[in-house]
Amino acid sequence: RPLGPADPGRRAFLQRALSLGVVGLSGLLGGVAYVQAQRLASVRRITIPIDGLPEALVGLKIAQISDLHVGPTIRDPEMSRVVAAVNELAPDLIAVTGDLVDGTVDRLQRFVAPLAGLRARHGTFFVTGNHEYFSGALPWCEHCRDALGWTVLSNEHAVVEHEGAKILVAGVTDLTAARFVDEHASDPAKAIAGAPPTDLRLLLAHQPKSALAADGLGFHLQLSGHTHGGQYFPFTLLLKAALRFYTGLQRVGAMWVYINAGTTYWGPPFRLGADQEITLIELARA
């Protein structure tokens, strides 16, 4: 039979119920995301096979942290927890792949101070991310070198010896660096200029897209960050669909690229669908 007119009261009730449901779900997801952001990053362990890796480098352990974003809501207590977690892994080498800070040295030096306690057999290596250039990249490079004791690689390289084998650790500045500091234009070829023959070539680059310029230069592995894995649903899905480089292990030519999803967070303290991580990479022979 013909339907009668809709009951206005019932319609209003359903609209209110739907609105309350959306608000409630949003609040629940926001609460979960906030709690997740406060947690210490979990350790993600990954084995990467390298062609022709000498026996001396089989089992080499590289700890990677990235996108720490020390600033208004991320301070020295959080950094102390990260340092303790990394040191417990007993890495041979530590890579810090940019976006360390959101603020100037004067404002944040006491908050990054615990990071001087990072310990690895061959030391800690650092490259700039785009956020360093919003915060005074040159003073931060100096501070990381002099106060934290890190090796800062600005289109440069260092060579370390491990059990008789030689490892080249190169680092490039962020892809946006030339907008802020003329002499910091990102340049993987410059980073290895004059390098001696080595058994392993490692590149540190904040943005994964640096791999496109580094491909063909003989690197075995690039370590990057920057993407945060999208950080918060639904951006996690959008970025995964839109970006060639998202998170995790990928291949570019003959080179592996590993993208850390971020060790803390950026902006509002929320993480949902993209856990923060400390990466422990162990090398194997392919």
Q: How far apart are CA 184 and CA 262, in angstroms?
A: 23
Residues 62-82 have a mean pLDDT of 96
Contact 128, 184 (CB under 8 A): yes
Q: Quick one: tokens of 270? A: 């929320």
Sheet of strand 42-50, all strands in order from the earlier edge strand to the far edge:
42-50, 277-285, 61-65, 93-97, 124-127, 151-152
Q: How far apart are CA 58 and CA 61, in angstroms?
A: 9
pLDDT at site 239: 66
Is the pLDDT score of 28 beyond 60? no
pLDDT at site 161: 98
pLDDT at site 245: 78
> What number of residues does the chain have?
286
Q: How far apart are CA 210 and CA 174, in angstroms?
A: 8
- 170 closest CA partner among 208, 201, 132, 214: 201
217-247 pLDDT per residue, tens: 999 999 999 987 755 656 656 666 667 777 8
| Residue whose tokens read 């890495």 | 91
Percent of the chain with pLDDT over 90: 72
User: Can you list the positions of beta strands (E) in the chain?
Assistant: 42-50, 61-65, 93-97, 124-127, 151-152, 156-162, 165-171, 200-204, 221-224, 248-252, 255-259, 277-285
Least confident of 30-39, 130-139, 172-181: 30-39
Q: What is the pTM of this model?
A: 0.86
Contact 88, 120 (CB under 8 A): no
Least confident of 37-51, 123-137, 192-206: 37-51
Contact 222, 197 (CB under 8 A): no
Q: How far apart are CA 224 and CA 26, in angstroms?
A: 32
- 210 closest CA partner among 69, 68, 45, 98: 98
Contact 154, 181 (CB under 8 A): no
Residues 72-89 have a mean pLDDT of 96
Name the amino acid, one letter, at 266: W
pLDDT at site 12: 60
Is the pLDDT score of 30 beyond 90? no
Residues 106-131 have a mean pLDDT of 98
Q: How far apart are CA 225 and CA 247, in angstroms?
A: 8
Q: Quick one: tokens of 116? A: 């001087």
Return mean pLDDT, the chain.
88
Q: How far apart are CA 223 and CA 211, in angstroms?
A: 9
Q: In the chain, what is the greatest distance between 2 CA atoms, to the nearest angstrom?
A: 89
pLDDT at site 22: 47
- 267 closest CA partner among 242, 230, 218, 237: 230
Is the pLDDT score of 41 beyond 80? no
| 39-285 CATH | 3.60.21.10
Q: Quick one: tokens of 48? A: 């990467």
Contact 54, 161 (CB under 8 A): no
Q: Quick one: tokens of 126? A: 């650092």
